[in-house]
Amino acid sequence: MTVAHASQQELPLAGVLVLDFSQFLAGPSCCLRLADLGAEVIKVERPQGGDLARGLQLADQAFGADSALFHTINRNKKSFTADLKSPGDLERVKALIARADVMVHNFRPGVMDRLGLDFDTVARLNPRLIYAAITGYGARGPWREKPGQDLLVQAMSGLAWLSGDAGQGPVPVGLSLADLMAGAQLCQGVLALLVRRGRTGRGGRVDVSLIESAIDMQFEQLTAFLNGDGRQPARDAVNNASVYLGAPYGIYRTADGYLALAMAPLGRLAELTGCKPLEAYTDPATWFKDRARIKALLAEHLAKQPTAHWLALLEPADIWCAPVLDWPRLVSHAGFAALELTQEIESPQHGLMRTTRCPLRVDGEVLKSPRGAPSLGADNEQILRRLEEGSPGSST
């Protein structure tokens, strides 16, 4: 059985009320995961335009008046519009905060202080509240006012120098990696503080920045650098996939596609593939020192046969390898189907849209939430009525 919106009350965070003041990807992705786990999430948006991601289209795809991107990262949420600079609206927002369990924002440092929604003020309104914030570069230091945008953070964190071959310039990862990792980190912090609150009754604050998340993702490579000679590690000249791992680690062209090879003993690889020149590299110390030459020899050899040929030889021998799938091949594969990784979300005004589901399983069940993102201010009337009635809990 698939867990869906109809069984929301059975999910772990049922009854938890989250106020999402964030925009674009990092904060909304945190709140999306909380919603997937059963929380009621209310997006607090500007009356004019709302979350800027409503207009941020990928591949020119819209879903009604808003971008498909906005719907996929804000599905299963509600929308409440408020001008935080209006005293009346601000009072209504504070009334919501007094009843909430969690609030999330990604404003630049100082913005919430000027609005009167800083942690100290909010904690006096609601001592049990979990206050969660994402910034680009933290609240202190010379970078604090820089725009917290994913590509800029990849550039500044050193991440862009890990991909690509030695002859290339910096290569960014082709997705919003820093945003999504920061959202995941913030979600972990929120869940941890909810557990602590369950023990102590006390709320708290959790902060994360895009730059810290991007640097933390590099802990493996950066630790080696910090304990090394202080020089930037060189990317491999051939099929680079790790600045610190030796051959054969990389992606290789075959006669009809590509093959990924992870760590493997070169002697065994030479035996299985029939690549005679590899037999000269029996000393593991050479696998890093001579990796460019080794990879070049292997690349020439693997290009002679199709991917399926090499997989048939290597996989039964437990060599860590895989075909390199593009999206059409990925989504048509039986392995993809078995994971039930997609779902349809629905908007009453705009119909159905296909997207991904929450990657978590709870009690063995996949989590799917079929409700699309809300229209701007769609839930104002219901939320205001609940405030008047003094109802703090989730009505979902």
In degrees to the nearest 10, what's the CA dihedral of 332, 338, 341, 343? Answer: 90
- Range among 109-113, 195-199, 235-239 with highest mean pLDDT value: 195-199
pLDDT at res. 2 = 39
pLDDT at res. 22 = 96
Of 269, 289, 323, which residue is a domain's last?
323
pLDDT at res. 6 = 39
Q: Report the mean per-residue pLDDT for the chain.
A: 92
Band the pLDDT of 395: cuts 50, 70, 90: very low
Of 323, 345, 370, which residue is a domain's last?
323
Q: What's the start-to-end Cα distance of the chain, in Å?
A: 20
* Residue 226 placed within a domain: no
Single-letter amino acid, residue 358: C
Catalytic annotation present for 179: yes
Long-range contacts of 281-289 (CB under 8 A, 24+ apart): 281/247, 284/246, 287/246, 287/247, 288/244, 288/245, 288/246, 288/247, 289/246
* Domain that residue 293 falls in: 258-323
Band the pLDDT of 60: cuts 50, 70, 90: confident
pLDDT at res. 4 = 42
* Residue 200 placed within a domain: yes
Mean pLDDT of 333-348: 90
Same domain? For 175 and 43 the reply is yes
Same domain? For 195 and 313 the reply is no
* Residue 245 placed within a domain: no
Active-site entry in 179, 216, 256, 290: 179
Same domain? For 110 and 64 the reply is yes
Same domain? For 272 and 132 the reply is no
* Residue 270 placed within a domain: yes
For a pLDDT cut of 70, what percent of the chain falls above it? 95
Beta bridge partner(s), residue 208? 134
Same domain? For 44 and 176 the reply is yes
Domain tally for the chain? Answer: 2
Same domain? For 312 and 343 the reply is no
Same domain? For 58 and 128 the reply is yes
pLDDT at res. 68 = 86
* Residue 396 placed within a domain: no
CATH code, domain with 43:
3.40.50.10540
Same domain? For 142 and 68 the reply is yes
